[in-house]
Amino acid sequence: MQRVRDYALNGLLTVLVALSIVLSYRVWFPSDTKGLWQAKEAQVQSSAPTTQSGIIPKVLRPDRIYIQKAEGQVALLPAGSLAYLQMWSDIGDVLQGLQPVNGQIPPEQEADPTDAAITVVLPIPLTLDQWAREWDWIRVGLPNFTKVDRFTIYLTKTPTVAFSGAAPGSTFRVGPLSPADEKMLRQRMAEVDESLFQKCRPLVLKDLTVSVAGGLLVPEVTEMPEGTVIVDKPDTAVEQARYFPDLSVVRHIEEKDANSYTDGQRWLRMTLSGQMEYMIAPPEGSAPDMTRSLEKTRDWVSSHGGWPQDLMLNEYVQQLGRSVLVYNVRMDADDRYPVETANGALQLELSQSRDQVTVTHYRRHPDFTPHLTRGRSPIMPAEKVLQATVAEFPSLFLFEGEVRDMYLGYLIWQPEKQYAWRLEPVWVIQVGEKRVYAPAAALSDMKAFVEGA
């Protein structure tokens, strides 16, 4: 009897071991695929809900708009503010009617930067030929060798529309501006709320050895409201349903500050601060061009959580075998100050194999809602911040070109080794095509940094 019992227990043990091996194999090599190295992107289950708006934002809309009066007062219209939306709607209509480029503007013919003007800062440097696709211009004869990232409408006696970039000599005239459009823009400028205009002044550079763009003005601000940010973190169960076609084989890996999930082919990581990252092994392929990358991204993000409406495209890079798209938040705080993220609130890597474009790496921040409080933070002068920034990043100012812009705003950021997000007053310094974020509040513990470095 004892021998029979031993045989039975040994047999049961053998069966359990065999089942363990089979289940482990199913976790790491599900039957519907051929392994991690041949994985395709997940087919999202139709039952997975979306938490964001189904409307895809216009990711190439302006980063910000400046309205400058002839007497030197300047209004910065942050993306998303009511004044910004009204002004961009009118300027967009004007763009549709402009003619192809008339030619490069010699320095001696450039408009006086202190004249009344509207400057539209674009979210990403592209050639005029590429911007022409966005605005439905006739592209014949447009330069495709120099990138531009802003244009200024000078409302002088002879109105001029000038596109410019970071490279020396990259200023081009577009136009002409019709009398009707000129009249309409002057009227819109006059309608901008007076409370949005700030007293501005030129930088005092007696102790600074930096190159500064002609006509650059900085706001005279001594204090700014303190702020907080409300964070809407993703739901773990919902996100798993989006990324894994078969949840029964998903394995959970618990980390110190995150939770990871994998079915042997796809990897999803969700941090305690609300950041999410998805990855599959990239197939052998090439880097898709910008048009195909944007097309794939629009559909893919729409079905993987949806589009936050405050995103803009800030970077497109082709690397060996992949293309990278980087989007950042651009919104407003109380209609007066821009609110930004840096180094990608949403970022994708894509690879193309034949005609198939695949998202191989996807990272996104949680959703943010900024809130300004009644507290006030003393703000350091622009010159003091610029001097400290030049001392910390001397090579940047030596090799990237002149300081083209310097404005006040708020940065949503996460201190190192902390889970909480903060809303911090910052000076944003644009050097060439680079952005530097430097703390503006006198008592801040934030460190200045160069975006993308």
**Residue corresponding to tokens 């991690």:** 36
Say if CB 170 and CB 145 are below 8 A apart: no
Model pLDDT, residue 301? 96
Distance, CA of 146 to CA of 125 (rounded, Å): 9
Per-residue pLDDT, 440 = 98
pLDDT above 80 (res 113): no
Is pLDDT above 80 for 170? no
Highest mean pLDDT among 140-144, 210-214, 239-243: 239-243
What pLDDT score does 115 carry?
75
- Where are the domains positioned within the chain? 2-31, 64-198, 224-228+371-450, 234-272+275-365
pLDDT score of 4: 41
Report the range of poorest mean pLDDT among 84-93, 154-163, 359-368.
154-163
Say if residue 17's pLDDT is above 50.
no
Q: What is the pLDDT of residues 253-277, one digit of tens each?
A: 999 999 999 999 999 999 999 999 9
Selection from 432, 435, 433 nearest residue 407 by Cα: 435
Q: Which residues pair with 316 in a beta bridge?
A: 325
Average pLDDT over residues 240-244: 95
Provide mean pLDDT across the span 411-417.
92
Q: What is the largest CA-CA distance in the chain?
A: 111
CB 263 within 8 A of CB 249: yes
Cis peptide before 176 (omega within 30 of 0): yes
Using DSSP, state whether 176 is helix, strand or coil. Answer: coil
- The model's pTM is 0.86
pLDDT tens string 329-350:
999 998 899 999 999 999 999 9
Tokens representing 412 are: 């949503």
Asked if residues 167 and 187 have their Cβ atoms less than 8 Å apart, the reply is no
Rounded to an integer, the average pLDDT of 187-209 is: 91
> For the segment 18-35, what is each residue's pLDDT rounded down to a tens digit?
434 443 444 344 433 333
Residues β-bridged to residue 317: 324
Percent of the chain having pLDDT more than 90?
65
Distance CA 438, CA 411 (A): 10
Q: Residue 114 above 90 pLDDT?
A: no
pLDDT digits (tens, 9 = 90+) for 285-318: 999 999 999 999 999 999 999 999 999 999 999 9
The pLDDT of residue 103 = 62
Burial of 145 (0-12, 13-18, 19+ CB in 10 A): exposed
pLDDT score at 407? 98
Of residues 242 and 25, more confidence is placed in 242
Whole-number mean pLDDT of the chain? 85
Contact indicator for 357, 428 with CB cutoff of 8 Å: no
pLDDT at res. 31: 39
